[in-house]
Chain A
Amino acid sequence: MSKLFPHSLTKGKEPFFVDHKFPHPENLRLSTHALSVYIGGNQILKFVNAEIPQNKITCIIGPSGCGKTTLLRTFNRLVDTIEGVKLEGVVMLGEQNIVTASASELTEIRRVIGLVPQRPCPLPMSIYDNIAYGCRIHGISGRKKLDAVVEYYLRAVGLWDEVKDRLHSPAGKLSGGQQQRLCLARSLAIEPSYLLADESTSALDPISSRTIEELFVKLKKDYSIVMVTHTLRQAKRIADHVIFMYMGEVIEEGDAQQVFNNPKHELTRKYLEGSFS
């Protein structure tokens, strides 16, 4: 039973998602093979090969417009919302090819690969319902169960003590930093294995963004985190693994220490020195 439920966060608790398509999330490797993405005829990603290591924070860095966000949004197929988008190549999540996933497989993929948005974006409902929304979608119901999930994940992001007395007030009333932690809790509540973060701290004040960073570091014990960031300082602080992209291609990929201290590629060195951004 515990195998089905890999997160030590919920250790000793009854697992909520026992009957899903990916029964062994710890064996779910996420990797891309010759992935190309076209938007309206422009090739945004060029034959990207990347492997996301598990239980680590992977930072995707690179200048603006290099395709970082597109790569991130390919992992959960949010690129589908763009008009005229075309995918080629393979993105594997365990045995499942994300590129060719059907609509029903997609909902399950998106459950396993959660997203923390760029700007805090609570749903237009109460704090409680924000957390419960995803659970209800995936068939978890029952007041007692949901109460437990909500409290559990609000505690996990350190929000419980701040909001426990107003769980049923609108989530939009929270501060920006609190909203972002709520979004994190909302993603965690459906028990993903991966977390995608698209510059998730860029819209926050320094203290709130530090809180989110610290949470990510704490969470990597149980989740694999993929983060797009514009701030090299942030990447240096928390990255274990780095993917450097330029003009839609992966230029260099490797251990953070190695990439930052001893880049193999000339372009990476120039970018890290700040010659271009």
Chain B
Amino acid sequence: MVKRSIIEEKFMKLFMYASIALVVFFVASVVLSVFKRGIPLLSWEMVSSLPGGGFYMGGGGGFLNAIVGSFYIVGGATVMGLIISIPVVFFLNVYLKANSRFGSIARLAYDVLFGIPSIVYGAFGFTIMIYFGLRASLLGGTIVVTLLIIPIFIRSMDEVAKTIPSELLEASYSLGATRLETISIVIRQIAPAIATATLLSIGRAIGDAAGVLFTAGFSDRIPTSLTQQTATLPLSVYFQLQSPSLEVQDRAYAAAVVLTLIVLVLSISGRIIMNRFSRNKIQ
């Protein structure tokens, strides 16, 4: 007779395999369906030129405006997000003592921020911009996307920073280092998490349409100043999909392919950088 625990294990193993297969299937089918419709229309002209006259009705040109606009917004937001969130993580984990009440309130706050949908950020940003008499612009979009990704940054770095053994910080203090000087230890220890957080944030930021819908606007040109409107890839996909023309709809898929490829390349290079950073990490 086969033991019950063996049967249970076999069943659970089967269940795990099935779940993994399902996940892989989803990823593969999304990528495949996007690539199948998008690749045939993807040409050098598409990614290297601005929309021509009547582009959204089937005219010539490409969506370089959206690619460059997305990079502007994501680049700016990532840099600003890192600058704001690293001090937060550092304060929560080095300056505050364990079980601090202030710390748990702060952590609850970013958990709430984490769950807020991006359209709310967009609406919030829009309200603020109206209050200050600003119009949709590259700056507005960048600020809203920064707000959007700060909780992602803080959370993914904080989760790792929380696991830094207290002995490690104490080792630094016991050598006469101040808490501020200990930042070099914290940064080294959470370096892989910073890389992961950056990747997650870029992925979220570059794919987000709702946050930039009101705040960055849309433009067929590449912005030359912070106050100009700018196009983004997700909105470019959105507008082209709305077109009645099938050809333009297929172009939306081409833009989606570019978006997916960017995320893919970033993820892979991020992993490589991450491995390099974690060589000194203490387990």
Binding site for B on A (CB under 8 A): 76, 78, 81-83, 103, 106-108, 110-111, 114-115, 117-119, 121-126, 133-134, 137-138, 170-172, 183, 186-187, 190
Q: A124 contacts B189, CB within 8 Å?
A: yes
Least Cβ–Cβ distance between A16 and chain B, in angstroms: 14
Least Cβ–Cβ distance between A234 and chain B, in angstroms: 21
Least Cβ–Cβ distance between A213 and chain B, in angstroms: 21
CA A115 to CA B282, docked complex, whole Å: 19
Q: B189 contacts A190, CB within 8 Å?
A: no
Q: B97 contacts A81, CB within 8 Å?
A: yes
Q: B176 contacts A124, CB within 8 Å?
A: no
CA A138 to CA B174, docked complex, whole Å: 12
- Top 5 closest A-B pairs, CB basis? A115-B174, A134-B175, A83-B97, A107-B176, A110-B176
- Which residues does chain B contribute within 8 Å of A114, judged by CB atoms? 174-175
Interface size of B by Cβ–Cβ distance < 8 Å? 27
Q: A125 contacts B280, CB within 8 Å?
A: yes
Given A78-B170, A125-B188, are A133 and B97 also a contact pair (CB < 8 Å)? Answer: no
Q: Is B171 an interface residue (CB 8 A)?
A: yes
Q: Is B279 an interface residue (CB 8 A)?
A: yes
Interchain residue pairs with CB less than 8 A apart (7)? A83-B99, A107-B177, A121-B168, A121-B170, A123-B185, A125-B188, A186-B171
Q: Of all chain A residues, which has the CB nearest B96? A: A83
Q: A121 contacts B282, CB within 8 Å?
A: yes
Least Cβ–Cβ distance between A2 and chain B, in angstroms: 23
- Which residues does chain B contribute within 8 Å of A106, judged by CB atoms? 176
Q: Is B9 an interface residue (CB 8 A)?
A: no
CA A162 to CA B181, docked complex, whole Å: 30
- Which residues does chain A contribute within 8 Å of B99, judged by CB atoms? 83
- Which residues does chain B contribute within 8 Å of A186, judged by CB atoms? 171, 175
Given A121-B282, A123-B185, are A83 and B175 also a contact pair (CB < 8 Å)? Answer: no
Q: Is B8 an interface residue (CB 8 A)?
A: no
Given A81-B97, A117-B170, A117-B171, are A122 and B282 also a contact pair (CB < 8 Å)? Answer: yes
Cβ contact of A137, chosen from B100, B166, B169, B177, cutoff 8 A: B177
Q: A110 contacts B171, CB within 8 Å?
A: no
Q: Of all chain A residues, which has the CB nearest B99? A: A83
Q: Of all chain A residues, which has the CB nearest B174? A: A115
- Which residues does chain B contribute within 8 Å of A171, judged by CB atoms? 280, 282
How many residue-residue contacts, CB under 8 A, span A and B?
A: 87
Q: Of all chain A residues, which has the CB nearest B281? A: A124
CA A171 to CA B98, docked complex, whole Å: 27
Cβ contact of A82, chosen from B97, B165, B177, cutoff 8 A: B97
Least Cβ–Cβ distance between A241 and chain B, in angstroms: 22
- Which residues does chain B contribute within 8 Å of A115, judged by CB atoms? 170-171, 174
Q: Is B239 an interface residue (CB 8 A)?
A: no
Given A83-B100, A117-B167, A172-B283, are A124 and B173 also a contact pair (CB < 8 Å)? Answer: no
Q: Is B267 an interface residue (CB 8 A)?
A: no
CA A114 to CA B175, docked complex, whole Å: 7
Q: A190 contacts B167, CB within 8 Å?
A: no
Cβ contact of B176, chosen from A81, A118, A190, cutoff 8 A: A190
Q: A110 contacts B167, CB within 8 Å?
A: no
CA A82 to CA B174, docked complex, whole Å: 15
CA A170 to CA B188, docked complex, whole Å: 12
Q: A110 contacts B178, CB within 8 Å?
A: no
Q: Is B228 an interface residue (CB 8 A)?
A: no
Given A117-B167, A121-B165, A121-B167, are A187 and B174 also a contact pair (CB < 8 Å)? Answer: yes
- Which residues does chain A contribute within 8 Å of B174, judged by CB atoms? 76, 78, 110, 114-115, 117, 187
Q: Of all chain A residues, which has the CB nearest B185? A: A123
Q: Is B172 an interface residue (CB 8 A)?
A: yes
Q: Of all chain A residues, which has the CB nearest B100? A: A83
Digit string of B89-111 for contact with A (CB within 8 Å is 1, else 0)?
00000000111100000000000
Digit string of B171-201 for contact with A (CB within 8 Å is 1, else 0)?
1111111100100010011000000000000
- Which residues does chain B contribute within 8 Å of A110, judged by CB atoms? 173-176
CA A134 to CA B184, docked complex, whole Å: 12
Digit string of B106-120 for contact with A (CB within 8 Å is 1, else 0)?
000000000000000
- Which residues does chain B contribute within 8 Å of A138, judged by CB atoms? 176
Q: A123 contacts B176, CB within 8 Å?
A: no
- Which residues does chain A contribute within 8 Å of B282, judged by CB atoms? 121-124, 171-172
CA A172 to CA B169, docked complex, whole Å: 15
